Structure 1
Amino acid sequence: MIMGRSGAGKTELALTLVERASLRSEQAALVSDDRTMLRAEDNHLIASAPVALAGGVEIRGAGLFKVPFVASATLDLVILLVAREEAERYPGGGIWSFEGIELPRLLLPSLSSNGDSNALSRAIEATLFYERWSPENR
């Protein structure tokens, strides 16, 4: 789930992540834009879109558009788009909690703070799919 203030680049980043997953023959889909409903289920957080907003996104400067979406998905990671000076260069194991369920959290620079959607996507993909490196686990 991507969170941040209005204009931070949440939709741009989400669409970039979906596009990049498709290029790698992996599966990713948009659940919701603007407003997301969360529920706890079997120690997982499930995200879904309000019925009135399902399948729609706002692309700044262009308007509202229909995009492919899924009705719900289990959350694995929370991304907070923040001002550049608040972003973490080396994430320190941040946690985001909702209804007693904890998820890993990344603080990344908002696109309005000169963040780049491809660069941010790489940080997110690394967190989700790569093994962390250290001298001990080469």
Structure 2
Amino acid sequence: MTASPKNIHANLIDIDAKGVLIKGEAGSGKTTLMLHLYRRCLSAGVPVHIISDDQTLLEEQNGQLMGRVPPTLAGKIEIRGLGIVDREQTLSHSKIELCVTLDREEIMLRYWDSQLEIIGNFEVKKLCLSSANIEAAGNAVLAALNLPLSV
């Protein structure tokens, strides 16, 4: 990664001190999955923070891949059908541990096949998931983070 942050089209949520980058085309369900994970973790008492919606700044810090919210989007989230709403911003950055790519396809892998996403100089565990079943996608994310599915 270069010294200056790279702005990418993705959401970032911090679950139990692990950053989950959620990528996908516009309308693929990135925010829906992020909010689903947020509600599940919040209700189970798992520490969770929405970092950024729609855009995430990526940069290397102390040998780690970090994601953070662009200052102009801090405390904002766009909810389809409602628009941009204000929200509490409790954490502004996270170390990226997992990269999720959402697709509208109905087919989702039954087993994780050790895929890695190369982001700059970093290898990050990658999941390719279908947005057709947000509950199943949420289960896959939680399992990849070694969290119980009861979350």
The percentage of aligned residue pairs carrying the same residue is 30
Shift of 1:120: 1.3
Structure 2 counterpart of 1:12: 32
- Between structures 1 and 2, the one with greater helix share: 1
Mapped pair 1:79 → 2:117: no
Shift of 1:30: 0.8
The alignment's TM-score, normalised by the length of structure 2, stands at: 0.77
State the AA in 1 paired with 2:135: N
Q: How many residues align?
A: 127
Shift of 1:24: 1.3
The alignment's TM-score, normalised by the length of structure 1, stands at: 0.84
Indicate the SS of the match to 1:129.
coil
| Map 1:1-138 → 2, pairs under 5 A | 1-69=21-89, 70-84=91-105, 87-110=108-131, 115-129=132-146
The gaps in structure 1 that reach 5 residues or longer are: 132-138
Shift of 1:130: 5.0
Judge conservation of contact 1:29–1:68 (CA < 8 Å) in 2: no
RMSD of Structure 2 on Structure 1 (CA): 1.7
State the AA in 2 paired with 1:53: L
Shift of 1:85: 5.7
- Which contiguous aligned blocks of 4+ residues in structure 1 show a shift greater than 2 angstroms? 85-89, 116-119
Structure 2 counterpart of 1:134: none
- Which one has a bigger Cα radius of gyration? 1
Q: Residues 85 and 18 (structure 1 numbering): CA distance in 2 closer, same or farther, change over 3 Å?
A: closer
The gaps in structure 2 that reach 5 residues or longer are: 1-20
